[in-house]
Structure 1
Amino acid sequence: MGVVEDRLAALGLTLPEVVPPLAAYVPAVLDGSRVYVSGQVPMVDGALPVTGAVGELVGLVSPERAKELAAVCALNAIAAVKTVVDDLDRVERVVKVTGFVASDPSFTGQPGVVNGASELFGAVFGDAGVHARSAVGVAALPLGAPVEVEVIVHVRD
Structure 2
Amino acid sequence: MTAEERLAELGLTLPQVVPPLAAYVPAVRTGDHVYTSGQLPMVDGKLLVTGKVGAEVSAEEAQGLARICALNALAAVASAAGGLSNIVRIVKVVGFVASSADFTGQPQVVNGASELLAEVFGEQGRHARSAVGVTVLPLDAPVEVELIAEVR
Structure 1 equivalent of residue 27 of structure 2: 28
Encode CA deviations 1:93-119: one digit per residue, 9 max, x unaligned. Answer: 100000000000000000000000000
Please give the secondary structure, in 1, of the residue aligned with 2:46. Answer: coil
Unaligned runs of 5+ in 1: none
Q: Is the 8 A contact 2:78 2:86 kept in 1?
A: no
For the 8 Å contact 2:78–2:87, the answer to whether it is kept is no
Q: Percent identity?
A: 66
Give the 3-state SS of the residue equivalent to 1:39 in structure 2: coil
Are 1:50 and 2:49 counterparts?
Answer: yes
1:82 pairs with 2:78: yes
1:140, distance to aligned residue in structure 2 (A): 0.2
Secondary structure, aligned partner of 1:133: strand
Q: Which residue of the other structure, out of 62, 68, 72, is the alignment partner of 1:66? A: 62
1:149 equivalent to 2:149? Answer no
The number of residues matched between the two structures is 152
Which residue of 83, 87, 97 maps to 1:91?
Answer: 87
What letter matches 2:115 in structure 1?
Answer: E
**Deviation at residue 82 of structure 1 after TM alignment:** 1.0
Please say if 1:40 is aligned against 2:36. no
Q: Is the 8 A contact 2:17 2:75 kept in 1?
A: yes
Matches within 5 A, 1:106-121: 106-121=102-117
Residue 133 of structure 2: aligned partner: 137
1:8 aligns with 2:7: yes
Paired amino acid for 1:102:
A
Q: Give TM-score, length-normalised by structure 1.
A: 0.94
The letter of the residue matching 1:8 is L
Runs of 4+ in 1 over 3 A off after TM superposition: none
